[in-house]
Amino acid sequence: MSDRLKFSFVAPALPSGGTLVVFAGDDLALAPAVVDLLGPAAVEAVSRAMAAEKFKAKAKSSLVVPGPAGLQADRLVVVGIGKASDRRETDHVALGGAVAGAVGRARAVLVLLDGPEDFRSDPEAAADIALGARLRAYAFDRYKTKKDEDEQDLTTAFAIACADPAAAKKAWKARDAVASGVVLARDLVNEPPNVLYPAEFARRAAALSDLGVEVEVFDEKQLGKIGMRALLGVGQGSAHESQVVVMRWSGARKKGTAPLCFIGKGVCFDTGGVSLKPGAGMEDMKGDMAGAACVVGLMHALAARKAKVDAVGIIGLVENMPDGKAIRPGDILTSLSGQTIEIINTDAEGRLVLADVLWYAKERFKPAAMIDLATLTGAIVVALGQENAGLFSNDDAIADRLVAAGRATGENVWRMPLGSAYDKMIDSKFADMKNTGGRHAGSVTAAQFLKRFVGDVPWAHLDVAGTAMGSPASDVNRSWASGWGVRLLDRFVAEHYE
């Protein structure tokens, strides 16, 4: 079960049980309003506990005080917010994650948001705490049939007490929509590949129509008519039919403006094909559809918060299998653009899928900008690890906006180069291009390949192979899948296109 927490926003008051959370800075002082509310006995209990445990209130650290004197709460949890000099910059989303981590599986939680003067406690801060808590509490346990007692599906009433609960509730509405998008993306990436094959993925994307998204699903017959032979080539060794899903959200104030297009690589499982991957770790390739999952999560977020933008999501869904019918190294495919591609390695399949989807998006929607997300190369993980996604773009303004949105959300991107010297590396003896560029600069030649299918459209490519899955535990995520990119792109849209 993925959503344990039930949020509410209330006026400050003491709870009659459950877990009470308060914040303390590194001077160990509680906010004056909190001191008044707790009363002298509880304040004394807290300071004795802090001294006994040598609690320093470092940012996001926590201390549990069971059965605090003078209170009806079953326990009080003090969460650190660190040094005064850092408090203005506090990332309330990460802090909310730390709070959810510290309280564990309590039945009722009340967070008193008041802190020292230099700590933000406005409605936006309250809503950010809830966002972080919801993301942190996510767990993918659908396939666990045996659960410990403390893992049972119990819900937690999670209340945040602040000065203006009505405004906080309003601010939470949009964040809740985005959180649902992140959770949806995580669920899709975590699902096993026998369950989430292309047609099933398409069905889940089609459920966005409940939110007012117009959804079209194309099957292999229709894709053949359109001419997506590069994409179909990847899927031709699989028992599962390839699919392309187009999702349209029309929320712009003015009708007829050029939309933003978001495009995702949706390789539901990547064995490498005939150029088979080694066995060790191959199970992780169920996450090779994380780009597509992010696009679906983003479309969910935009529709659920009724974003004032026209956005189109397009995902290419395939399974890359070795088979008698599969493509071979040496094959030449004709893409939708008419350009021909010599297959050197059938494991460089994501770019074949994206080539057709990018071209289709450009021709059909004449977008103001296109952004694709793909778990495209192992080389990007070598270059940037799991801290940054690789960003490649033909447009400095879009690139700068993505970098800024990354800083604001903690979903960071690092710009990588493009250039004609790299482009030459994918010229082919037999066709217009080949699908790999050799050992050097593997992420860059992959991006150069995509660039041949975007024409003059302002475009950015995000290589998310390092950030979307196998994620290290963070304040806001404990799951294998991170849902990376939903918050980044939601922010990008909200700041510049609404």
Q: Which residues are catalytic?
A: 277, 351
Q: Does 267 bind Zn ion (CB under 5 A)?
A: yes
Buried b (16+ CB within 10 A) or exposed e, 184-196: bbbbbbbbebeeb
Closer by beta carbon to ligand BES, 179 or else 465 = 465
CB of 272 to ligand BES, least distance (A): 6
Q: Is 268 in the site for ligand BES (CB under 6 A)?
A: no
Q: Can residue 326 be called a binding residue for ligand BES (CB under 6 A)?
A: no
- 348 touches ligand BES by CB under 6 A: yes
Sign of CA dihedral 54, 55, 59, 63: positive
Listed ranges 140-148, 269-277, 305-313, 415-423: which one lies at the site for Mn ion (CB under 5 A)? 269-277
Q: How many CB atoms lie within 10 A of CB 481?
A: 25
**Would you count residue 463 as binding Mn ion (CB under 5 A)?**
no
Is the Cβ of residue 191 or residue 349 nearer to Mn ion in the bound state?
349
Q: Are 287 and 375 in contact (CB under 8 A)?
A: yes
Please identify, among the stretches 234-242, 350-358, 406-414, 445-453, the one whose residues bind Zn ion according to the rule CB under 5 A: 350-358
Chain mean position to CA 355:
23
**270 touches Zn ion by CB under 5 A:** yes
Residue with smallest beta-carbon separation from ligand BES = 378
Q: Which is nearer to Mn ion, 134 or 286 (CB)?
A: 286
Smallest distance, Å, CB 468 to ligand BES?
A: 8
* Residue 283, SS3 per DSSP: helix
Helix (H) or strand (E) holding 482: none
The CB-nearest residue to Zn ion is 270
The residue from 114, 191, 347, 411 that contacts Mn ion (CB under 5 A) is 347
Shortest distance, position 498 Cβ to ligand BES, whole Å: 32
In terms of DSSP bridges, do strands 260-270 and 332-334 run parallel, antiparallel, or are they unpaired?
unpaired
Q: Which residues pair with 461 in a beta bridge?
A: 372, 392
Q: How many CB atoms lie within 10 A of CB 140?
A: 18
**What is the number of residues in the chain?**
498
Closest residue by Cα to residue 111 from 172, 157, 49 = 157
Q: Which of 26, 220, 241, 288 binds Zn ion (CB under 5 A)?
A: 288
> Taking the complex as a whole, how short is the minimal distance between the CB of residue 447 and ligand BES, in angstroms?
12
C-alpha to C-alpha distances, 393 to 367, 371, 397, nearest whole angstrom:
15, 9, 9
Quick one: which of 376, 413, 405, 390 has its CA closest to 494?
405
In the complex with Mn ion, the residue whose CB is nearer, 19 or 467, is: 467
If one asks whether residue 490 binds ligand BES (CB under 6 A), the answer comes out as no
Write out the binding residues for Zn ion, residues 410-439 only, by CB under 5 A: none
CB of 316 to ligand BES, least distance (A): 13
Compute the least distance from the CB of residue 446 to Zn ion, in Å.
10
Report the sign of the C-alpha dihedral through residues 298, 301, 306, 308, in that order.
Answer: negative
Q: What whole-number distance in Å separates Cα of residue 373 and Cα of residue 474? A: 22
Binders of ligand BES: how many residues, by CB under 6 A? 15
CA distance 261 to 316: 13
Measuring CA to CA, how many Å separate 104 from each of 133, 143, 482? 11, 21, 20
Q: Which is nearer to Zn ion, 50 or 444 (CB)?
A: 444
| Positive or negative torsion for Cα 494, 301, 91, 398 | negative
Question: Could you tell me which stretch among 25-33, 38-46, 223-231, 346-354 binds Mn ion (CB under 5 A)?
Answer: 346-354
Which residues within the stretch 362-421 sit at the binding site for ligand BES (CB under 6 A)?
375, 377-379, 381
Host H or E run for residue 87:
helix 84-87
What is the smallest separation between the CB atom of 284 and ligand BES, expressed in angstroms? 6
Give the residues lining the site for Mn ion (CB under 5 A): 270, 347, 349
Give the residues lining the site for ligand BES (CB under 6 A): 270, 288, 345, 347-350, 375, 377-379, 381, 436, 442, 465
